[in-house]
Structure 1
Amino acid sequence: MRTLYLFCSAAPPVFDVARVIEDAQSRGWDVCLGLTPTAARWVEGSLDGLAALTGHPVRWEYDLPGQPEVWPQADVILFAPATFNVVNEWALGLTAKFVLSMAVQGAGRGVPTLVMPCVNQAHVRHPAFGSSVATLRAAGVSVLYGEGAYAANPPGQELSGGYPWAVALDAVEGVVREPTGA
Structure 2
Amino acid sequence: MSDQPEKPFLQIVVCAAGVADDVGKLITAAQERHWDVGVIATPQGLGFLDAEAVEAQTGRPIRSAWRSPGEPRPTRPADAIAVAPASFNTVNKWAAGISDNLALGVLCEAPAMDIPVAVLPYVNSAQAAHPAYRQSLERLREMGVLIGSYEPHRPKAGGGADRYRWEEALELLAPKLSAPA
SS of corresponding position for 2:138: helix
Aligned with residue 27 of structure 1, among 33, 47, 62: 33
Shift of 1:19: 2.6
Shift of 1:172: 2.3
For the residues of structure 2 that align with 1:174 and 1:11, how far apart are their CA atoms? Answer: 27
Match of 2:122 in 1: 118
Asked whether the 8 Å contact 2:88–2:121 carries over to 1, the reply is: yes
Match of 1:161 in 2: 162
Please report the RMSD computed on the Cα atoms of aligned residues, expressed in angstroms. Answer: 1.7
Asked whether the 8 Å contact 1:32–1:54 carries over to 2, the reply is: yes
Aligned with residue 61 of structure 1, among 45, 51, 65: 65
Shift of 1:106: 1.3
**Cα pair distance change 1:151/1:60, threshold 3 Å:** same
For the residues of structure 1 that align with 2:10 and 2:61, how far apart are their CA atoms? Answer: 14
SS of corresponding position for 2:85: strand
Shift of 1:123: 0.5
Amino acid at match of 1:170: E
For the residues of structure 1 that align with 2:38 and 2:118, how far apart are their CA atoms? Answer: 15
Asked whether the 8 Å contact 1:2–1:178 carries over to 2, the reply is: no
Farther off after superposition, 110-119 or 168-177: 168-177
Share of identical aligned residues, percent?
Answer: 33
**Cα pair distance change 1:178/1:58, threshold 3 Å:** farther
**Unpaired stretches in structure 1, ≥5 consecutive residues:** none
| Residues 63-142 of structure 1: pairs in structure 2 closer than 5 A | 63-142=67-146
**Cα pair distance change 1:49/1:159, threshold 3 Å:** closer
Asked whether the 8 Å contact 1:4–1:29 carries over to 2, the reply is: yes
For the residues of structure 2 that align with 1:59 and 1:24, how far apart are their CA atoms? Answer: 18
Shift of 1:88: 0.3
For the residues of structure 1 that align with 2:146 and 2:29, how far apart are their CA atoms? Answer: 21
Q: Does 1:38 align with 2:39?
A: no
Match of 1:176 in 2: 177
Q: How does the TM-score come out when normalised to structure 1? A: 0.88
SS of corresponding position for 2:78: coil
**Unpaired stretches in structure 2, ≥5 consecutive residues:** 1-6
Residue deviations 1:25-69 (CA, integer Å, cap 9, x gap):
0111100101011111222xx323322321222101111111110
For the residues of structure 2 that align with 1:55 and 1:160, how far apart are their CA atoms? Answer: 26
For the residues of structure 2 that align with 1:71 and 1:56, how far apart are their CA atoms? Answer: 9
Shift of 1:177: 2.9
Amino acid at match of 2:154: P
Q: How does the TM-score come out when normalised to structure 2? A: 0.89
Amino acid at match of 1:6: I
Shift of 1:70: 1.0
Farther off after superposition, 108-117 or 85-94: 108-117
